[in-house]
Amino acid sequence: MTAEQTLTDYNPATGAAVAELNHTDLATLPARLAKARAAQRRWAAKSFKERARHLRLMRDYIVDRADDLATIVSDSNGKTRVDALATEVLPCALACNWYGKHAGKVLARQRRPGGHLLFANKSTTVEHLPLGVVGIISPWNYPLSIPFGEIVMGLMAGNAVLLKVAAATPAVGRAIERIVDAGELPEGLFQHIVGSGSQVATAFFENGIDKLFFTGSVPAGKTLMAQAAQTLTPVSLELGGNDPMIVLADADLERATNGAAWAGYQNAGQSCGGVERIYVEDSAYDDFVALLAKKTRALRHGPGQRDGVTVDIGSLTTEGQLRTVQQHLEDALAKGARIEAQSQPVGDVEHGYFFPATLLTGVNDTMLTVCEETFGPIVAVERVTDAEQAIARANASNLALTSSIWTRDTRKGRALAARLETGVTTLNDHLYTHGLSEAPWGGWKESGIGRTHGPEGLLEMTNAKVINWDRLPAKRNLWWYPFDQATYRGLLNALHFAFPRGPLKWLGASLKLTPFLVRKMFSKWKVD
């Protein structure tokens, strides 16, 4: 087997090989899709209750093997096992539970009330039918929880799923295979594709995937959207963030600094919804920075949690991402930023892609770490005069995934939250709503299009279909052939009946409309 035919997963914290997987021969994709479509037809015939039974089997597997799964994610991605357990394994179990319980209610057939008396004879239902076969291309920063949540959404909606995990974390794709196998699904309903993201995406589009769900960079998302336009394939894109955190003067600084450290440094800062920019009102700025600096210095980064060594922050996942973070720091320092504090190394950090948690002050909007997504453990703190300036600075970004406001005044915080241009805003917390199965996830602007998670995510996995019929059998509708002056007057009277300009107008229109309506709808069209 040549290097071009295999993909090796290396632990980014140690450089050790974790797993080796064979590339999928994309020439087999038409046959794979045909198999998926056959399985999907059988799967779609199952009730929501039956589908949920399969998800419970997956959930039980996840719970029983939580430690093994956390270790696989840690070894493949570089994050700590605590991170892996809290932000990857636990959300997967929660996803099985929520979608298994609620998909049937969200996607049930709905009866729509009539819009007007003119259509009193019409009945309407809306059904949410499976798309067919959906493709998922997932990232390396949360290689388990991001794709798995989309998998269970797709399955509960009645679809087949083809998954392509990131090339940096293929061992997690193999772990997902084992989780799904535990669900005892029809053969071919779920398939794991190994290979280049761009090549797999092209093959998906060329072979008629019904929808593509992609999580990754803005440039990659734009490329995929352009490709999808050629076949009008629908896409859901979650592309990134440059999340602002606003700390008001009345905030609980103990909680705010704890939250800033967690949301800024967790997963080595490789979170689309992690804190990157912090705006602090003037009177709280000095105390906030001093407290966050102490906590940053107390953090430990390194390849720990084995041999009795414990660390808080693991490694970055790819060498390229490490170079990006280094470039952003060098750019900020060259433009006048200051390093207030950094985390402490523990163990051998020379053979992994480690970067210390770094607190920056003296930053401005020309710096890459402020105006772009750093995707690393750097947080930049700026002083602002008031909440109005903070809102303006926070909204001055082309990325708009999540944001947060920290204040003891919940009413004020909610009012300000409504003005932030992001898909999610949290009060006195940050970087957790992706784990809420019930809440939609996604952003505005260049952070993407579409939503995953929650009822909105389930609806993204379906086609809406309207079914409409007559309550009473009629020969013709009011606006059908043949046309004559009576038809025109009848339609005009219908308009005045629907929107009368006074009671006498309504009475006159109804008296003229009723006999014409009955005659038109219930008599034959007499043709010579």
pLDDT on residue 26 = 97
Q: Is 456 in the active site?
A: no
Secondary structure of 419-450 in the HEC alphabet? CCCCCEEEECCCCCHHHCCCCCECCEECCEEC
pLDDT on residue 304 = 72
Check residues 330 and 478 and name the one with the higher pLDDT: 330
Cα distance between residue 375 and residue 42, in whole Å: 42
Q: What distance lies between CA 428 and its chain's CA centroid?
A: 22
Strands 358-361 and 338-342: antiparallel
Q: Average of pLDDT values for 220-244? A: 97
Strands 190-193 and 358-361: unpaired
Cα distance between residue 253 and residue 188, in whole Å: 52
Alpha helices in 407-522 (DSSP H): 410-417, 454-460, 485-498, 503-522
**Which candidate, 415, 404, 293, places its Cα nearest to that of 357?**
293
Residue 305 scores a pLDDT above 70? no
Contact (Cβ atoms closer than 8 angstroms) between residue 326 and residue 282:
no
Locate tokens 């903070």: which residue? 390
Q: Average of pLDDT values for 287-299? A: 98
Cα distance between residue 141 and residue 192, in whole Å: 18
pLDDT on residue 306 = 59
Cα distance between residue 520 and residue 110, in whole Å: 31
Q: How confident is the model at residue 296 (pLDDT cuts 50, 70, 90)?
A: very high
Residue 95 scores a pLDDT above 60? yes
Torsion of CA 224, 228, 230, 231, to 10 degrees: 160
**Which candidate, 452, 439, 456, 436, places its Cα nearest to that of 94?**
436
Cα distance between residue 122 and residue 246, in whole Å: 51
Residue 78 scores a pLDDT above 60? yes
pLDDT digits (tens, 9 = 90+) for 7-21: 999 999 999 999 999
pLDDT digits (tens, 9 = 90+) for 104-160: 999 999 999 999 888 999 999 999 999 999 999 999 999 999 999 999 999 999 999
pLDDT on residue 309 = 66
Mean residue pLDDT of the chain comes to 96
Paired strand residues for 363: none
Strand (E) or helix (H) holding 168: none
Q: How far is CA 205 from CA 121, 133, 153, 198, 331, in A?
A: 43, 12, 21, 11, 39
Q: How many residues does the chain have?
A: 528
Catalytic residue among 88, 150, 238, 281: 238
Contact (Cβ atoms closer than 8 angstroms) between residue 419 and residue 392:
no
Cα distance between residue 271 and residue 368, in whole Å: 17
Residue 224 scores a pLDDT above 60? yes
pLDDT on residue 1 = 37
**Which candidate, 146, 138, 148, 9, places its Cα nearest to that of 74?**
9
pLDDT digits (tens, 9 = 90+) for 328-364: 999 999 999 999 999 999 999 999 999 999 999 999 9
Cα distance between residue 433 and residue 332, in whole Å: 30
pLDDT on residue 310 = 85
Q: How confident is the model at residue 308 (pLDDT cuts 50, 70, 90)?
A: low
pLDDT on residue 2 = 43
Q: Average of pLDDT values for 221-249? A: 97
Q: How confident is the model at residue 436 (pLDDT cuts 50, 70, 90)?
A: very high
Residue 191 scores a pLDDT above 80? yes
